[in-house]
Structure 1
Amino acid sequence: MDFDAHGGNKRVFHRLGGGGGDGGGGGLSTADTRQKVCNYWRAGKCNRFPCPYLHRELPLPPAATANGAAAKRFANNTWGRNNNFNNHSNNYRAGNSKNSNINNRAVIKTDILCRNWVQGNCMYGEKCKFLHSWTVGDGFKLLTQLEGHQKVVSGITLPSGSDKLYSGSKDETVRVWDCASGQCAGVINLGGEVGCMISEGPWIFIGVTNFVKAWNTQTNTDLSLSGPVGQVYAMAVGNDLLFAGTQDGAILAWKFNVTTNCFEPAASLKGHSLAVVSLVVGANKLYSGSMDNSIRVWNLETLQCIQTLTEHTSVVMSLLCWDQFLLSCSLDKTIKVWFATDSGNLEVTYTHNEEHGMLALCGMPDSEGKPVLLCSCNDNSVRFYDLPSFAERGKIFAKQEIRAIQLGPGGLFFTGDGTGQVRVWQWCNGPVAT
């Protein structure tokens, strides 16, 4: 601590404006420019009285405008965006704020959803520093909300050629929604929690405990595929095979037999020590993510594991193939971007860090056809990132975490959250690439 010759605290002395040039023996000098504005007052939460700092903004000196200092300060605070993985610097985080002036007092607007507003009892109104909106950013809009499920939505799909949207839930039902009216057209009771759901052509595949339900929406063919041990958490289709990741760490494969009009067991892929919770097919390979924190790469022709990736430190929740890259997200709060070296092995070329664990990835074009990554986090939000820069461009919020994200035609996309609510969104302001 600094002390002056008389034993006083010089820092406190200067805060109060002491040592003025008028020789006034320690009184506040109008000529003293060593005054500081209270940062807590700027944030709207100073509770000190009297406060040693100013509760008003200091006027800029005339020279500031003349020499461009104000513009320079603004430029230095502008968030940079770098369009390449290795050199990218992402400075946008939850809590970055926008200033607004209400009743001559600065109010900091954070990018955090107001819990009281969600419950309908926020008493601060426009003066609340938390968001009173389900979205941050523009370019997309909420079209409608589909109510009916009683538990978390674990899968959403829109089969090819169908005018119906299907959503599966841990409430042991699949709901059928009419795309024209938005009304529920039917409820299918499965007698078990839906762990995942996908579609391929007219077929819908529903993963439940100890089996997979296969339903053809055109012929109404209804099949049960046995073999899984425990809950089926993930499915994917590739090389004319249906793959299912199961609770015991196995990946089961079936092949469709046109003659018998049924799916026949083709293989069982062993290697993971814990449940397989994510699957994706790309570049003639199957990628599997597991609760054992690893990603395994399987050759689609031989169905042999050709590489094991162990860079994640928690559950690998979701996988996505984009361009030449594999993207993976985990509860370890990272998204990793993998790229194949000359040897053919995948290596991490970029790691994006977040403040929360990540649950699901989905890629789609925006209204201008530019690639956007949607990432669900366990803070009940979905983040929108431009690719490849990972610059954040918006968020959507829910009452509970969003476990299912699915694309639709014409710029539509769907989300399902822990309350059982399905929401229909759409990109706007321009044509959407298909």
Structure 2
Amino acid sequence: MDVDGGESKRIFRRLGGPQSDPNKNQKVCYHWRAGKCNRHPCPYLHRELPSPPVQHGLNGTASSKRPHAFAATTDGPRGRGPNSFNGGPSSTWGRTGANRVFVRKMDKVCNYWVQGNCSYGDRCKYLHSWSMGDCVSLLTTLEGHQKVVSGIALPSGSDKLYTGSKDESVRVWDCQSAQCLGVINLGGEVGCMISEGPWIFVGIPNAVKAWNTQANSELSLSGPVGQVYALVVGNDLLFAGTQDGSILAWKFNSVTNCFEPAASLNGHTLAVVSLVVGANRLYSGSMDHSIRVWNLENLQCIQTLTEHTSVVMSVLCWDQFLLSCSLDKTLKIWAATQSGNLEVTYTHEEEHGLLALCGMHDSEAKPVLLCSCNDNTVRLYDLPSFSERGKIFSKEEIREIQVGPGGLFFTGDGTGQVRVWKWSAEPVATA
């Protein structure tokens, strides 16, 4: 047997023998690092590269010509300044010693970690976390819904959380133990859910369910045609945005203890999917790409905003501003002119369509905007700079965001999961 020829020579050269070409495939096998390479022969090295040559800098201390990986990771994944890596193998791996690896995390959750079997551990270049940045932390995950979560409500004075889903159910959760206390089957998809005082309102096809959590009473409000996608309370009226493009209003009668039909607001040509009340106005976003502004005193439409080019998924009132987001990948900020009409003062663009907005202030009274996109993420922005503070990831798109007390907020996604988050600095919900 000729030990100096054939396979033995190839192995000898791959291990760095004198005949090896220093410019050829000088890359360590990722599978070998993980302890599971099964290629024979493997085109990559099954050993670690030697440490880079050490030189002395101008100040007499040891330095390396190689980019310093720790400088790129001290700020976490957000740090992408001049010291960040810019490509090539060294953009992922860097070493300061034989046993320590610093990894610049990619802006993506590791699929193997999600499945519970990533063998790279801390060396994985993808995130082993459902959030990026240090401003929020995940407290717990509530599992039970089988389809997308479309509503989250936390009634005032209650120690229970209510979640609704397109699986035609509402689940009741204990806020202390995070256990599901009960499941209410509604016989129709939940399109939206809100709470107002002790009341919980749930939009389903052709009806709105109303529950009083203190009196343990239940009402069913008829009148909607098709799915109810949006609900809001303003000026002692309950408004419901429906599939046929109308907005129905009810007024509560304390004598009869029921909600009586008050008005029908017409003008949208397609379904109304978002509603918000502010400054004595009702704002409605629709699948017809428009936002209508309604006077709450006479319930007349006083302006139609047509700057969006796709479905207006969410509208939010913040101080004297109106914020709106759309599947056209833009978020627009509106302000009133001297004439009283709203005009766009700023447009923020994203790479993906936008699904939901939620606003709050941090402990320093700085406004923070939570913006859900249909790439399964929620961006956290400081306002008015729109500088990114962090990001939340999910298996599927997050359709619902709800603020809770004491720095808590909740997200519901397309898999049916509800996650409970806490801010590192306690915020308060916007008015």
TM-score normalised by the chain length of structure 1: 0.77
Say which SS state the counterpart of residue 113 (structure 2) adopts.
helix
Letter of the 1:192 counterpart? G
Is 1:235 the counterpart of 2:231? The answer is: yes
Is 1:181 the counterpart of 2:177? The answer is: yes
Q: Percent identity?
A: 75
Asked if the contact 2:360/2:428 (under 8 Å) is kept, the reply is no
Distance in 1, matches of 2:341 and 2:55, equals 59
Asked if the contact 2:135/2:389 (under 8 Å) is kept, the reply is no
Distance in 2, matches of 1:325 and 1:152, equals 30
Say which SS state the counterpart of residue 206 (structure 2) adopts.
strand
Say which SS state the counterpart of residue 265 (structure 1) adopts.
strand
Distance in 1, matches of 2:129 and 2:56, equals 35
Contiguous gaps of at least 5 residues in structure 1: 1-40, 50-55, 64-90
Give how far 1:103 is off. 4.6
Give how far 1:334 is off. 0.9
Paired residue for 2:210, among 187, 208, 214?
214
Give how far 1:388 is off. 1.3
Distance in 2, matches of 1:59 and 1:378, equals 49
Give how far 1:101 is off. 4.2
Provide runs of 4+ in structure 1 moved above 4 Å.
56-63, 96-101, 103-108, 431-434
Asked if the contact 2:246/2:272 (under 8 Å) is kept, the reply is yes
Partner of residue 425, structure 1: 421
**Across the two proteins, how many residue pairs are aligned to each other?**
366
Partner of residue 256, structure 1: 252
Is 1:247 the counterpart of 2:251? The answer is: no
Asked if the contact 2:321/2:335 (under 8 Å) is kept, the reply is yes
Give how far 1:302 is off. 1.0
Asked if the contact 1:337/1:349 (under 8 Å) is kept, the reply is yes
Partner of residue 80, structure 1: none
Is 1:335 the counterpart of 2:331? The answer is: yes
Give how far 1:133 is off. 1.2
Is 1:119 the counterpart of 2:115? The answer is: yes
Asked if the contact 2:274/2:313 (under 8 Å) is kept, the reply is yes
Q: In the TM superposition, what are the counterparts of 1:47-62 in structure 2 within 5 Å?
A: none
Letter of the 2:267 counterpart? G
Letter of the 2:328 counterpart? D
Distance in 2, matches of 1:57 and 1:244, equals 69
Distance 1:131 1:260, change over 3 A: same
Is 1:360 the counterpart of 2:356? The answer is: yes
Asked if the contact 2:102/2:123 (under 8 Å) is kept, the reply is no
Distance in 2, matches of 1:281 and 1:152, equals 26
Partner of residue 383, structure 1: 379
Give how far 1:433 is off. 4.3
Asked if the contact 1:92/1:392 (under 8 Å) is kept, the reply is no
Q: 1:115-143: CA deviations, max 9, x gaps? A: 23222343544343322211111122111
Is 1:319 the counterpart of 2:315? The answer is: yes
* Further displaced range: 116-125 or 248-257: 116-125
Q: In the TM superposition, what are the counterparts of 1:22-421 in structure 2 within 5 Å?
A: 101-103=93-95, 108-421=104-417
TM-score normalised by the chain length of structure 2: 0.77
> What do you get for the CA RMSD once the two structures are aligned?
3.4
Asked if the contact 1:254/1:264 (under 8 Å) is kept, the reply is yes
Say which SS state the counterpart of residue 145 (structure 2) adopts.
coil
Give how far 1:303 is off. 0.7
Partner of residue 69, structure 2: none
Distance 1:425 1:108, change over 3 A: closer
Asked if the contact 1:329/1:358 (under 8 Å) is kept, the reply is yes
Give how far 1:154 is off. 0.4
Give how far 1:346 is off. 0.5
* Relative contact order, higher structure (CA 8 A, sep 6+): 1
Q: 1:140-167: CA deviations, max 9, x gaps? A: 2111111111111100010011111100
Letter of the 1:248 counterpart? D
Give how far 1:427 is off. 1.4
